[in-house]
């Protein structure tokens, strides 16, 4: 096999490529009466490979959901690029855009809000098939919906006619997954899909998603604030802090050897963790997305920060094999 063929195979494995992506929101401040710019996603470069489960981890407000919604074209990039199989999604025509939406589906945090309360389970799962012309007649439609419900662990006979308010939280999320799978996607973006579920239900949903990934050869972008959940489901974890990716590694490596002080803070916040962080890292600073600090975004909260951290922005650098961190003074490598 030639080097050119090898490079082509490597390129083909890249499902989504995000380059220097910025997503800013402009709004008027009610207190000051002037326009402000919120830096939701700020210069993110990230690659999602076929068959990968990329866990995107960070506190609320870190930009995770904005990044996900930009990938599925619910937000427009301020600058930078999102490419799907090498094609810039912002340049797609109407036909290509509709095809793209078939291949990339999203599961939202709250299944009750993402499902139409006036549509029963059958119609909720059927709707995407009708929109994309994938169900030709009544018999085929019913067979496909039954197949999808069984695939996500729901009994069609007892659930098809029910409405969202008649289902449990876990059942609603399974319906949302079935609906997303109806279009045979390649990529599922799951935005905190288990955070609103009882602890006893979460593991069932996570195991279902792992089973579906293998069965259907899916790729996931899995968003969570919980490193424990990320470790269970992800093959790679990217840690995001207020618009920036600050660390990337496989989950076992990340948890065993965190390099960024923010990642260490997330680990220290897990109940029962033996890690400890100075209290000033979690209590003394409130981030303002309209006025992000110069230099490292995390330096106002970081006990290890030095003068360089407040003036010079660090770059994402490989410190250990396949372990990248954006920090001038990383934890011991």
Q: Residue 196: what pLDDT?
A: 86
Q: Residue 114: what pLDDT?
A: 85
Ranges of residues in the chain with a pLDDT under 70 are: 1-12, 29-33, 271-285, 333
Instruction: Give me the phi and psi of 247, to 5 degrees please.
Output: -160, 145
Question: What are the pLDDT digits (tens) for 84-127?
Answer: 999 999 999 998 998 999 999 999 988 778 899 999 999 999 99
Neighbours of 278 (CB within 10 A): 15
**Helix crossing, 169-181 with 138-151: angle to 10°?**
130
Global pTM reads 0.89
Contact 173, 111 (CB under 8 A): yes
3-325 topology per CATH: Rossmann fold (3.40.50)
Q: Residue 284: what pLDDT?
A: 57
Instruction: Give me the phi and psi of 99, to 5 degrees please.
Output: -65, -40
Q: Residue 280: what pLDDT?
A: 46
Beta strands in 160-297 (DSSP E): 187-191, 219-224, 236-241, 244-249
204-162-143 Cα angle (round to 5): 80
Q: Residue 30: what pLDDT?
A: 61
Q: Residue 268: what pLDDT?
A: 86
């Amino acid at each position: 096999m030639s080097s050119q063929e090898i490079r082509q195979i490597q390129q083909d494995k890249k499902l989504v490529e995000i380059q220097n992506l910025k997503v800013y929101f402009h709004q008027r401040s009610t207190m000051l009466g002037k326009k402000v710019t919120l830096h939701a996603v700020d210069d993110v470069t990230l690659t999602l490979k076929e068959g990968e489960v990329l866990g995107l981890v960070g506190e609320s407000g870190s930009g995770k959901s904005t990044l996900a919604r930009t990938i599925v074209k619910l937000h427009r990039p301020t600058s930078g690029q999102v490419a799907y199989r090498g094609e810039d999604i912002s340049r797609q025509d109407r036909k290509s855009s509709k095809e793209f939406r078939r291949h990339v589906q999203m599961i939202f945090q709250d299944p009750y809000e993402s499902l139409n309360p006036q549509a029963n389970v059958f119609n909720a799962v059927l709707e995407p098939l009708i929109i994309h012309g994938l169900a030709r007649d009544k018999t085929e439609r019913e067979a496909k919906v039954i197949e999808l419900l069984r695939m996500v662990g729901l009994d069609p006979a007892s659930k098809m006619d029910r409405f969202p308010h008649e289902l449990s939280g876990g059942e609603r999320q399974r319906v949302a997954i079935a609906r997303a799978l109806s279009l045979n996607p390649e990529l599922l973006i799951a935005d905190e899909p288990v955070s609103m579920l009882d602890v006893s239900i979460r593991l069932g949903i996570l195991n279902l998603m792992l089973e579906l990934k293998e069965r259907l050869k899916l790729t996931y972008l899995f968003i969570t604030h919980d490193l424990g959940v990320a470790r269970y489901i992800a093959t790679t974890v990217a840690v995001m802090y207020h618009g920036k990716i600050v660390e990337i590694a496989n989950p076992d490596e990340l948890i065993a050897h965190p390099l960024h002080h923010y990642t260490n803070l997330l680990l220290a916040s897990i109940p029962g963790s033996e890690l400890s962080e100075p209290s000033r890292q979690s209590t003394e600073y409130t981030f303002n997305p309209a006025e992000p600090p110069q230099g490292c975004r995390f330096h106002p909260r970081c006990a290890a920060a030095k003068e360089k951290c407040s003036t010079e922005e660090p770059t994402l650098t490989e410190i250990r094999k396949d372990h990248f961190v954006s920090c001038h003074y990383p934890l011991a490598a």
